[in-house]
């Protein structure tokens, strides 16, 4: 038995046999051909097959995880047509009279280097995608791609978790994922979490594990290869407990989120796409506390039109059937880059041109989104929220823009509701000014992810800082308490929609502070409701 520590990127326990994703050998023989034009045709057929596979994957992803996650396969389709890849391979086939596999592997390094050294962060991040495409082509050429199909439940092991690897396999046969590389913010990790598949990265994977029994514990960042009988039965018991816990939690559907001594709070869900509403409803969310609208703006070549956005917001509003839906306006910038915005490269992007700063500098982009949100307000219970606020002046400027948007809608006879507006408290500046800000808006929502980053001067994306990034830091908790006190003085409601809201070890602390709303990933709702109902604040 070997126990290995990695980094969990999606929780859960899985027990099963490991299957390494079969990739074509990295060293391809230099086999020559007598008819290079016939070989070029063979390569073109592989390109056509790859295109067809990507189109099928796009459709499958659209159905299973939603439009925004599926869009990556459109990006792959575009990258597949990059002449730097296709023409160079054909060139090598013709000039060196070699098989396509050799030509492809000989251009691979230079194309990967070109992508990884690009100035544009978005394009740099596409390095893994271009690698994925090259692997797909190689699999088609060598016929080894078929081996990737899991005909029975397996734990999949791969060098890197790519979106296609994740989606290409029938979900019922995918028990878990193990990878050498991977960050919690990659498309693949997001997919794994949406699909509820336990996953662990940063594992020094070994080909010898192929076919061996393993236990992946996404709660303790642990991978156990060839567990002893005793460990296996312990983990099977834990897995059963996990299943039972999930079943028990069903009892917490349809009841209030109220402490045992009568303090009620709102328990909402965070979503990133229209498709996530299903999971929010399934887990009995009382509303949507954070709809990260920027996901609608990623993996595309132009921003979504007013109509496209309107349809998305209206769908969420209608499906939530009168429950509140808080739509956060665009929080692009930093790690969420949209190429079409043509933002300059920044030395310090987390502190740079992002979120409301972009919206206020691009009034057309902002107004299009606001129009779409106001139009959708006629179809449900929508509220508007603004990210990364640092001053009262910003809020006043936003309100002027809202008045302009509403005046335009009035002129056009388009109906809308006068919806609530709120801001995210994610910066120490917003904490200090929380009373003044609360006077301007209907609600505040604390973004503990960014608040921790800015309060502790600690890059939330940097894996080397994992051990230091501490959202339980007393300074962060005191800031949250101060915001609640200041907002309540002027009758303004306060929620938390950062990851900390789901931290059960802090539920009682937040309830004692007087938090009005907690908004968490849909799968966390019932456990949190149970925790709230078991808590007594014992105020006499």
- Using CB under 6 A as the criterion, which residues of the chain lie in contact with ligand PEP when the complex forms? 290, 292, 331, 426, 447-450, 497-498
- For ligand PEP, which is the closer residue by CB, 132 or 450? 450
Closest approach of Mg ion to the CB of residue 452, in Å: 10
| 509, interface contact from Mg ion, ligand PEP, none, CB < 5-8 Å by kind | none
Closest approach of Mg ion to the CB of residue 331, in Å: 6
Residue for token digits 């910038």? 333
In degrees, to the nearest 5, what angle opens at C-alpha 57 toward C-alphas 56 and 61?
Answer: 120
Closest approach of Mg ion to the CB of residue 336, in Å: 10
| 497, interface contact from ligand PEP, Mg ion, none, CB < 5-8 Å by kind | ligand PEP
# residues near Mg ion by CB under 5 A: 3
Give all strands of the β-sheet with 7-10 in edge-to-edge order: 2-5, 222-225, 213-217, 13-20, 154-160, 174-181, 199-201, 7-10
How would DSSP label each residue in 135-179? HHHHHHHHT-GGGG--SS-EEEEEEE--HHHHHHS-GGGEEEEEE
- For Mg ion, which is the closer residue by CB, 240 or 472? 472
Indicate which single residue of 145, 289, 447, 522 sits in contact with Mg ion (rule: CB under 5 A). Answer: 447
Q: Which of 76, 135, 187, 492 is catalytic?
A: 187
The closest of 129, 115, 195, 137 to 164, measured between CA atoms, is 129
- For ligand PEP, which is the closer residue by CB, 366 or 386? 386
Distance separating alpha carbons of residues 150 and 146, to the nearest angstrom: 9
Indicate which single residue of 450, 503, 516, 517 sits in contact with Mg ion (rule: CB under 5 A). Answer: 450
In 398-462 the beta strands, taken as DSSP E runs, fall at: 420-425, 443-446
- For ligand PEP, which is the closer residue by CB, 259 or 507? 507
- For ligand PEP, which is the closer residue by CB, 218 or 498? 498
How would DSSP label each residue in 203-244? ----GGGTT-EEEEETTTTEEEES--HHHHHHHHHHHHHHHH
Q: Is 135 in the active site?
A: no
The closest of 18, 349, 442 to 215, measured between CA atoms, is 18
422 binding Mg ion? (CB under 5 A): no
| 448, interface contact from ligand PEP, Mg ion, none, CB < 5-8 Å by kind | ligand PEP
Q: Which of 76, 135, 492, 497 is catalytic?
A: 497
How would DSSP label each residue in 481-529? HHHHHHHHHTT-EEEE-SGGGG-GGGHHHHHHHT--EEEE-GGGHHHHH
Closest approach of Mg ion to the CB of residue 121, in Å: 18
Which two three-digit tokens encode residue 389?
Answer: 């606020």
Q: Which residue is nearest to Mg ion (CB)?
A: 450
Q: How many helices and strands, by DSSP H and E, does the chain display? A: 20, 16
Closest approach of ligand PEP to the CB of residue 276, in Å: 14
Tell me which stretch binds Mg ion (CB under 5 A): 84-92, 408-416, 449-457, 489-497: 449-457
Distance separating alpha carbons of residues 171 and 286, to the nearest angstrom: 29
- For Mg ion, which is the closer residue by CB, 447 or 522? 447
Burial 506-516 (b: 16+ CB within 10 A, else e): bbbebbebebb
The closest of 204, 167, 154 to 182, measured between CA atoms, is 204
Distance separating alpha carbons of residues 192 and 175, to the nearest angstrom: 11
Closest approach of ligand PEP to the CB of residue 5, in Å: 26
| 485, interface contact from Mg ion, ligand PEP, none, CB < 5-8 Å by kind | none
Q: Is 497 in the active site?
A: yes
Closest approach of ligand PEP to the CB of residue 386, in Å: 12
In degrees, to the nearest 5, what angle opens at C-alpha 464 toward C-alphas 159 and 387?
Answer: 100
- For Mg ion, which is the closer residue by CB, 379 or 454? 454
- Residue 181, helix vs strand vs coil: strand
294 binding Mg ion? (CB under 5 A): no
Taking a C-beta distance cutoff of 8 angstroms, is the pair 522, 282 a contact? yes
| 292, interface contact from Mg ion, ligand PEP, none, CB < 5-8 Å by kind | ligand PEP
Closest approach of Mg ion to the CB of residue 185, in Å: 13
The closest of 438, 430, 370, 439 to 405, measured between CA atoms, is 370
The closest of 519, 524, 531 to 11, measured between CA atoms, is 524
Taking a C-beta distance cutoff of 8 angstroms, is the pair 324, 271 a contact? no
Closest approach of Mg ion to the CB of residue 47, in Å: 40
- For ligand PEP, which is the closer residue by CB, 447 or 527? 447
Tell me which stretch binds Mg ion (CB under 5 A): 72-80, 128-136, 267-275, 440-448: 440-448
- Residue 357, helix vs strand vs coil: helix
Taking a C-beta distance cutoff of 8 angstroms, is the pair 475, 497 a contact? no
- For Mg ion, which is the closer residue by CB, 70 or 395? 395
**Catalytic residue numbers?**
187, 497
Chain residues that interact with Mg ion, rule: CB under 5 A: 426, 447, 450
């Amino acid at each position: 038995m070997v126990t290995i520590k990695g980094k969990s990127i999606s929780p859960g326990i899985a027990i099963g046999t490991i299957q390494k994703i079969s990739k074509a050998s990295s060293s391809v023989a230099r086999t020559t051909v007598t008819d290079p034009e016939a070989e070029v045709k063979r390569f073109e057929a592989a390109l056509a097959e790859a295109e067809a596979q990507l189109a099928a994957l796009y459709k499958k992803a659209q159905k299973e995880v939603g439009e925004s996650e599926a869009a990556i396969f459109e990006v792959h389709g575009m990258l597949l047509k990059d002449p730097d890849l296709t023409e160079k391979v054909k060139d090598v086939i013709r000039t060196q009279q070699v098989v396509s596999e050799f030509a492809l592997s000989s251009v691979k390094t230079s194309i990967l280097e070109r992508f990884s050294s690009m100035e544009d962060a978005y394009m740099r991040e596409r390095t893994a995608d271009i690698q994925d495409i090259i692997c797909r082509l190689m699999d088609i050429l060598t016929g080894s791609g078929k081996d990737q199909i899991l005909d029975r439940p397996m734990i999949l092991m791969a060098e890197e978790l790519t979106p296609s690897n994740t989606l290409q396999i029938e979900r019922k046969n995918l028990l878990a994922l193990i990878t050498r590389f991977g960050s919690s913010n990659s498309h693949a990790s997001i997919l794994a979490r949406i699909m509820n598949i336990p996953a662990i990265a940063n594992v020094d994977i070994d080909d010898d594990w192929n076919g061996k029994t393993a236990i992946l514990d996404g709660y303790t960042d642990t991978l156990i290869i060839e567990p002893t009988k005793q460990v296996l039965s312990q983990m099977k018991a834990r897995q059963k407990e996990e299943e039972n816990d999930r079943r028990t939690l069903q009892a917490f559907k349809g009841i209030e989120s109220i402490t045992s001594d009568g303090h009620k709070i709102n328990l909402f869900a965070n979503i990133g796409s229209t498709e996530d509403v299903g999971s929010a409803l399934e887990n009995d969310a009382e509303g949507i506390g954070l709809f990260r609208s920027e996901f609608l703006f990623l993996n595309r070549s132009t921003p979504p039109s007013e109509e496209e956005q309107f349809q998305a917001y209206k769908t969420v509003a209608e499906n939530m059937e009168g429950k509140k839906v808080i739509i956060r306006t665009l929080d692009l910038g930093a790690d969420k880059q949209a190429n079409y915005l043509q933002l300059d490269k920044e030395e310090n992007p987390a502190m740079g041109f992002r979120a409301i700063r972009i919206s206020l500098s691009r009034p057309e982009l902002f107004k299009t989104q606001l129009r779409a949100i106001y139009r959708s307000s006629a179809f449900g219970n929508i509220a508007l929220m603004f990210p990364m606020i640092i001053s009262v002046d910003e809020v006043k400027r936003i309100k002027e823009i809202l008045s302009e948007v509403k005046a335009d809608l009035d002129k056009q006879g388009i109906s809308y509701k006068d919806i609530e507006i709120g801001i995210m408290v994610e910066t120490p500046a917003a904490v200090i000014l929380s009373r003044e800000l609360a006077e301007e808006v209907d609600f505040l929502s604390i973004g503990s992810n960014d608040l921790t980053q800015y309060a502790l001067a600690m890059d939330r994306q940097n894996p080397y800082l994992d051990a230091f990034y501490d959202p339980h830091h007393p300074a962060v908790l005191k800031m949250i308490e101060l915001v609640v006190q200041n907002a309540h003085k002027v009758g303004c409601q306060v929620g938390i929609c950062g990851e900390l809201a789901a931290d059960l070890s802090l539920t009682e602390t937040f309830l004692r502070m007087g938090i009005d709303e907690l908004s968490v990933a849909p799968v966390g709702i019932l456990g949190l409701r149970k925790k709230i109902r078991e808590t007594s604040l014992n105020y006499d």
